[in-house]
Amino acid sequence: MPTLETPYSILNEVVRDVLKRSGKSATAEIELMPFNPSVLGFVRAGQNTIYVNTVPLMGVDQAHVSEYLYVVILHEYLHLLGIADEREVRRITLEMVDEKFGQSSFAHNLSLKLADPRDVMLMDSWKTGKPHTYM
Ligand SMILES: [Zn+2]
């Protein structure tokens, strides 16, 4: 079980990475607590606290805790910045995690599981140089 020092150092990294990508930032707090295990984390509208669920967190292998927290905190931080759309947040998370950790990482696999299959298909199609588009 990580102390709050780990989540906060990861939050700082997330804030830096998002600022670099989008030019946006916000202040955020982190609170670790147990709740419904099917939810990894959440934010409340109008608040700047990112709640991280300790129940699934405790099941994460120590070697992967940092990448796990990066994915969860990045996701909630994007909501905090005002992106309400769940699918959009999941797509941006996957893109950023791929750039940062690479496609064989734990963070990639976690983000991929959380991403919308339509976006995964689109992103894969860009890689092969035959991009699909929506209509
Ligand atoms: Zn979300």
Residues lining ligand 1 (ion), CB within 5 A? 86
Between 48 and 122, residue with greater pLDDT: 48
Distance 1 CA to ligand 1 centre (A): 23
pTM for the full predicted model: 0.90
**Tokens for 1?**
């079980």
**Tokens for 70?**
């990066």
Mean pLDDT of the chain: 91
Residue 65 in contact with residue 110, Cβ under 8 Å? no
Q: What is the pLDDT of residues 3-25, one digit of tens each?
A: 677 999 999 999 999 999 999 99
Distance 42 CA to ligand 1 centre (A): 7
Structure confidence at residue 134 (pLDDT): 61
Distance 77 CA to ligand 1 centre (A): 9
Alpha-carbon distance of 131 to 16, in angstroms, equals 30
Nearest of 48, 61, 43, 54 to residue 110 by alpha carbon: 61
Alpha-carbon distance of 122 to 134, in angstroms, equals 9
Distance 37 CA to ligand 1 centre (A): 15
* Domain boundaries of the chain, sorted by first residue: 5-127
Alpha-carbon distance of 91 to 6, in angstroms, equals 25
Q: What is the pLDDT of residues 57-74, one digit of tens each?
A: 999 999 999 999 999 999
As a CATH number, domain 5-127 is 3.30.2010.10
